[in-house]
Amino acid sequence: MLKKTAFSIAGACLAVALLILAGEALFRISGYSPETYLPLKPGEPVIHEPDPELGWIGQAGNHVWVVGNNPEKRLPHTYWESGLRATAPQRVDRDDRVLVVGCSLTQGYSIADQDTYTWKLQEKFPNVQWLNYSSGGYGTYQNLLMLERVLPLQPKPPVAVIYGFVVWHAPRNAADPDYMRGLRHFKGRRHIEIPYGTLDDHGNLVRHPPESYPSWPLREHLALVTGLERMYMKFRYGAERFRIDYQIAVTKAVIKEMARVCERWGTKLFVATLGVDEGDEQRMLDFEQFFRSENIPFCVCRSTKEQAKLWRAPWDGSDGHPDGRMNSLWADCIALELFKEMPDRQARILGSSAKE
Measure the CA–CA gap between 36 and 220, rounded to whole angstroms.
6
For residues 59 and 113, membership in a common domain is answered with: yes
What confidence tens digit (pLDDT) does each residue in 227-278 have?
888 888 877 777 777 788 999 999 999 999 999 999 999 999 999 999 877 7
What confidence tens digit (pLDDT) does each residue in 31-47 have?
888 887 777 777 788 88
For residues 27 and 115, membership in a common domain is answered with: no
Helices (H), 203-323: 223-237, 244-264, 281-293, 305-310
What confidence tens digit (pLDDT) does each residue in 182-210 have?
888 777 676 789 999 999 999 999 999 99
For residues 118 and 1, membership in a common domain is answered with: no
For residues 166 and 291, membership in a common domain is answered with: yes
For residues 168 and 116, membership in a common domain is answered with: yes
What confidence tens digit (pLDDT) does each residue in 305-315 have?
778 777 776 65
pLDDT of residue 317: 44
For residues 296 and 191, membership in a common domain is answered with: yes
pLDDT of residue 85: 97
Rounded to an integer, the average pLDDT of 9-38 is 75
Mean pLDDT of the chain: 87
* Among candidate residues 20, 75, 45, 145, the one with its CA nearest the CA of residue 314: 75
For residues 86 and 116, membership in a common domain is answered with: yes
What confidence tens digit (pLDDT) does each residue in 136-167 have?
999 999 999 999 999 999 999 999 999 999 99
- The gap between the terminal CA atoms of the chain, to the nearest Å, is 94
For residues 9 and 81, membership in a common domain is answered with: no
Domain that holds residue 8: 1-31
Helices (H), the chain: 2-29, 104-107, 117-124, 140-150, 170-173, 177-185, 223-237, 244-264, 281-293, 305-310, 324-341, 346-350
- Please report the beta strands in 59-102, taking only residues with DSSP state E, as ranges in sequence order: 61-66, 74-79, 97-102
pLDDT of residue 319: 44
CATH number of the domain bearing residue 167: 3.40.50.1110
Give a yes or no: residue 57 inside a domain. yes
Give a yes or no: residue 39 inside a domain. no
How many domains does the chain contain in total? 2
* Among candidate residues 121, 124, 142, 114, the one with its CA nearest the CA of residue 55: 142
Identify the top-confidence range among 4-13, 65-74, 239-248, 334-343.
334-343
For residues 222 and 138, membership in a common domain is answered with: yes
Give a yes or no: residue 177 inside a domain. yes
